[in-house]
Chain A
Amino acid sequence: MSGPMDALSHEEILRAGHLACPGCGVTPAYRWALKVLGRRTIVTAPACCFAVIDGAFPYSASSVPFLHAAFEAAPAYASGVRAALDVTGQHDVNVLVWAGDGGTFDIGLQSLSAAAERNEDMIYVCYDNEAYMNTGIQRSSATPRGAWTMTTPAKDGKREPKKHLGEIMAAHRIPYFATVSISHPEDFVRKLETAKSMRGFRLLHYFCPCPTGWKADSRHMAELGRLAVETGVFPLYEVFDGVRTVVNVAPAWTPMKEYLKLQGRFAQVTPPEVEAMEREARAEWARLERRARAEAEAEPAAAPR
C-alpha cells in the first residue's frame, strides 16, 4: 500500500483471539483506528457487536481502556471520560466512541445529538453494518431499502430507505464528519489523521461489511466495501463544520447488481427494484455533488483546515 498505510505502526494494539466472525469488517478498521490514535486512548462502546468482539469478562482484546456503556448512552459516558481527563490535565488522551448503527442511528441518537451539540472533544466512529447484527440481524434505521433482516422478512425486504446520518451530523455543525470504507484504506487512515488533528466532536461513518448478517462470503468483506463505493451506495466524502462538503471518490458506477449479487440479503430484490436503487444512488450522488459545489461557492473561506 502507500502513504498513510505505510506510516502505520507495526505494533498491534488490538490483539488476536477476539470474537468477531470470520471476515468481519469492523476489526481492521478498529485496528487502524488504534494505530492512528495510539495507546493513550480510552474507548467507549455501547451495546453492539464490538462489545462482544472485544471479549467477555475478564478479557479484552484492546490493549487500551475499554468502557462498556449502556446502549443509549455511549456519547454520554464518553463525555464523562473526557471531562475526567480534562480535569486531571490529561488533555492528550483521545476519547474514542466505537458504536454500531443501532447505538448511533436509533437507540443512541439522543445522546449522540447531545454530545454533538455540546461539541464534546471526542472521535466517534459509527461502524455501520446496517442492522442489529449482534442480537440476530434485526432491522435498524441504517438498514437499506430492499434488504432482508429477521424483522423485515417479507418478500420485498425493508421498505424504507436508510436514514441519512451525514445530513443529521451536518445539521449539528460539528467540526468534522467523514464517510470511510474498508476498501479505501489510505482514505480511511487520512480521515482518521484529519480527525485526530482537530478538537471537538468528530464523527466517522464507517461502512462496515458484515458477511454473517448480509449472507455474504467472508472473503468478500473488502470487495463489498469497494462495490458500495463504486455503485454509489456509499459515497466517500467529508463535511467540515457542517457547511463545507468535500467529495473524495467519484463512483465508478459499477452496475448495482454486482454489489447485490454478493449478498443473500438482497436475493429477493427484483430487476425493477435494482433499477430504482441505481436511480436513488445517482440522485443521492447528484445531491451530494450539488451541495459540495454550492457550499464551495457560498463559503470559499470555510475551506478544509
Chain B
Amino acid sequence: MKKTDGRVQFETRGDLPATAQSLGGTSWNRTGSWKFLEPLYKDLTPPCSHVCLTGLDVVAMMHKVEQGDWDGAARVALDVNPFPAVTGRVCPHPCEQPCNRKAYGGGVVVHAVEAAVGDHKLAKAVRPELPEAVHPRVHVVGSGPAGLSAAVALRRLGHPVTVHEAAPEAGGLLRYGIPAYRLPTEVVRAEVAWVRSLGVEIETGRRLAREEIEALGPTIFAVGFGRSRPLGIPGEDLPNVLDGMSFLAGVRRGEETGLGAEVAVVGGGNTAMDVARTLRRLGTRTTVWYRRTEREMPAFRLEVDEAKEEGVGFRFLAAPVRVEASPTGRLLVTFVRMELSGKDASGRSKPVPVAGDEVTVEVDALVKALGEVLDDEVVPRGAATRDGRVGVAPDGHAGEAEAFPAGDCADGTGATVSEAIRGGRLAAHALHAELTGQAVPAAAPLADRGVDPAVAKFKQLNVARFRKEAPHAPDVVAPGERVASFAPVEGRLPAADAVAEAARCFKCGTCVECDVCYHLCPDMAISKKPGGGYVIDLAHCKGCGVCAQECPRAAIELRKST
C-alpha cells in the first residue's frame, strides 16, 4: 500500500484491510474545485470615519474602548487628532449623522466616547512616540487649535517647537472664544499642559509684530481671526455696541460681567449663539436678530436648539440699519424687514430689505456677531489675502511669504475646531517638507489598514447578532439649571457607559475577529492566523457564502471564483 499526498493506493490484494476501515483522512480531496464564488476579507469604510473632519478611524477607537484598552484608543485618536477631549466636546460630530446604528436602537454617541478617550489621555498623560528633536527649531504663531495641532505634529516629526501666543494664556479660540459651558477651562489648560509635556515651548502674553514673525523664518501662521466684520451702519461706534468675539474673550478672562438687562445680538452663526447663551448666563434678556430665516443659520443645529431651550429669543428676516443713543442712555436699534429673493454667491437665499418696513427696539447693548476676519496688520509681506483670510498655495505656503497658514486665518479651512486641528497637522507636514526635503505621508489610518473606500451600508450588515439596545448618552443639564452658571451643559460619560457605548458600535465594514465566519464555515476552510486575522483555504472552500452572509460587519466580500 502506498500513500501519495494523503491518497491511499492498494497495490496488492494483501494491502486491503480485513474489514472496511478507513486508512486516511479526506484533506487530499480538494473540494475547492466545486466553487463558483469565493470569499475575500475586505474591510469597508465605516460611515462615521467617511465624514470625520479629522480623518479619525472611529471604529478602531471604539474597538479599543470596548476592549478596555484606553491607552490604545487614545493612540488611535492621536494619529490624527491630538485633542480628543476638545473635539469630543465641541465638534458638531458629523460622524453621528450617518451612523448605521440609528436604524437599530439608536445612533452611537461617538462624541461622548471620544471625550472620554480624550479625558483618559489627559489623566494618564498618554503620549505619542516622540523622536529626538534633531531637526531645526520651528515657530508657530498662535496657540489655538490649529497652532497647537501643528506644534504637536512638528514635535512628532523631530523638531523643537516654540509657540508664540499674544494672550496671557494659550489655547486661542478654545480658551477665549468657546464658552466654558461647552469647553471647560480646565480641559483647555490640561491640553496646553499636555502639549508642553511633549517638549513644546509656549510663550504667552506678547503679540509678535509682523517684522518679528517674518524674522522667524519658515513659520506656522495660525493667528486665527483678529477682528469682527463691521455692521457698516450709522451709530456702530456708540459705546454699547460690542464685538462678539471681544465680548466672549472678556467673559472668558473673567473681566466682563454683564451688559445690562436686555441685549440684541446680530448674526446667525456659532458666535451669535455663544454670545446669546453667554448673556443668558449673565442674567440678560437676549434676542438674536438674523437677516435670513432659521433654515439658513450657519450655527450648529444643536447650538440653536439649546439656545432656544435657554430662553434666547429669535427674530428672523431683520437687519439693523441704524443705532442711536436713547435719552435714558440706552440704545435705540432700528431693524428693517428683509425678504429672501434668489441666491447669493454662497448658494444661500439672498436677503433684500423691504423699504420702509422698520422696527425700533430699545436695548442696553448691541453685540455684533457677523463673522470674523483676519487682522491684516500681522500678515507677513508676500502673503495674499482674500476675503479676510490668507491664501494657501498647494505646497502649503502663503503666497511668497515663508509662512504656512493654518486654522481660521487660512483660506479654505472649514469653520470647525476639528478642521483647524487637521489644517494644523497638514501645515506642519508642509513646513517639515520645506525644511527637510522629506515629504510626510498624509495620515490616512483607514487606507493604511487597507480599507476599501466604499462605505458600509446598513443593509450590507447582518445585525442578527446585535441587540437593539438604546444608546448610553451623557446627562444633559436641564435648561433652567444651565443658565444659572457656566458649568458644562453635557456631563461626562462614565467609563463603564463609554465602554458599553463603544460595544454598541457595529464596527461597520471592519473585521474585529468575532469568529463568526470561523465557527460557521462548514468546510474548515477558515482558520485563525497566529498573529490575528484569518486565512482562507481556497483549496477546500466550496464557496457556500455562509461566511459573507453571516459576517455581522460586511467585512467579507463574495466574488466570482477564478
Taking beta carbons and an 8 Å cutoff, which residues of A are in contact with B? Answer: 1, 5-6, 8, 10, 12, 14-28, 31-32, 55, 57-61, 63, 66, 68, 182-183, 185, 211, 217-223, 226
How far is A15 from B523 in the complex, measured between Cα atoms in Å? 8
18 cross-chain CB contacts under 8 A:
A1-B515, A8-B519, A12-B524, A12-B527, A16-B31, A16-B525, A17-B30, A17-B540, A19-B29, A22-B34, A22-B543, A24-B544, A32-B519, A55-B29, A59-B8, A59-B25, A185-B520, A218-B543
Q: Is the CB of A16 within 8 A of B524?
A: yes
How far is A61 from B550 in the complex, measured between Cα atoms in Å? 25
- Contact partner of B549 (CB less than 8 A), chosen from A32, A60, A222, is A222
Q: Is the CB of A23 within 8 A of B519?
A: no
- Contact partner of B26 (CB less than 8 A), chosen from A17, A25, A211, A220, is A17
- In the complex formed, the residue of A with least CB distance to B546 is A221
Interface 0/1 of B18-29, CB less than 8 Å to A: 001111111111
Q: Is B548 engaged at the interface, CB distance under 8 Å to the other chain?
A: yes
Q: Is the CB of A219 within 8 A of B520?
A: no
Q: Is B63 engaged at the interface, CB distance under 8 Å to the other chain?
A: no
Q: Is B208 engaged at the interface, CB distance under 8 Å to the other chain?
A: no
Q: Is B189 engaged at the interface, CB distance under 8 Å to the other chain?
A: no
Q: Is B537 engaged at the interface, CB distance under 8 Å to the other chain?
A: yes
Q: Is the CB of A27 within 8 A of B523?
A: yes
- In the complex formed, the residue of A with least CB distance to B39 is A219
- In the complex formed, the residue of A with least CB distance to B525 is A16
Residues from chain A with a CB closer than 8 A to the CB of B524 are 12, 14-16, 31
Give the distance to chain B from A8, nearest Cβ to Cβ, in Å. Answer: 7
Give the distance to chain A from B510, nearest Cβ to Cβ, in Å. Answer: 16
Q: Is the CB of B544 within 8 A of A22?
A: yes
Residues from chain A with a CB closer than 8 A to the CB of B21 are 57-58
How far is A22 from B543 in the complex, measured between Cα atoms in Å? 7
Give the interface SS of chain A, mostly helix, strand, loop or mixed.
loop
Residues from chain A with a CB closer than 8 A to the CB of B22 are 55, 57-60, 66
Q: Is the CB of B8 within 8 A of A28?
A: no
Q: Contacts A17-B540, A22-B544 known; A60 to B26 CB distance under 8 Å?
A: yes
How far is A6 from B22 in the complex, measured between Cα atoms in Å? 32
Q: Is the CB of B31 within 8 A of A5?
A: no
Give the distance to chain A from B534, nearest Cβ to Cβ, in Å. Answer: 11
How far is A57 from B18 in the complex, measured between Cα atoms in Å? 13
Q: Is the CB of A223 within 8 A of B24?
A: no
Give 6 new A-B contacts, CB below 8 A, not counting A28-B521, A61-B26. Answer: A15-B26, A17-B30, A19-B29, A27-B523, A58-B24, A221-B546
Segment 248-291 of B: residues with Cβ below 8 Å from A: none
Q: Is the CB of B544 within 8 A of A17?
A: no
How far is A142 from B476 in the complex, measured between Cα atoms in Å? 57
Q: Contacts A23-B522, A32-B519, A223-B549 known; A58 to B17 CB distance under 8 Å?
A: yes
Give the distance to chain A from B281, nearest Cβ to Cβ, in Å. Answer: 47
How far is A55 from B28 in the complex, measured between Cα atoms in Å? 12
How far is A10 from B528 in the complex, measured between Cα atoms in Å? 8
Q: Is the CB of A61 within 8 A of B519?
A: no
Q: Is the CB of B540 within 8 A of A222?
A: no
Q: Is the CB of B26 within 8 A of A219?
A: no
Give the distance to chain A from B285, nearest Cβ to Cβ, in Å. Answer: 54
Residues from chain B with a CB closer than 8 A to the CB of A6 are 515
Give the distance to chain B from A227, nearest Cβ to Cβ, in Å. Answer: 10
Q: Is the CB of A16 within 8 A of B520?
A: no
How far is A32 from B332 in the complex, measured between Cα atoms in Å? 82
- In the complex formed, the residue of B with least CB distance to A1 is B515
Q: Contacts A17-B29, A219-B544 known; A226 to B522 CB distance under 8 Å?
A: no
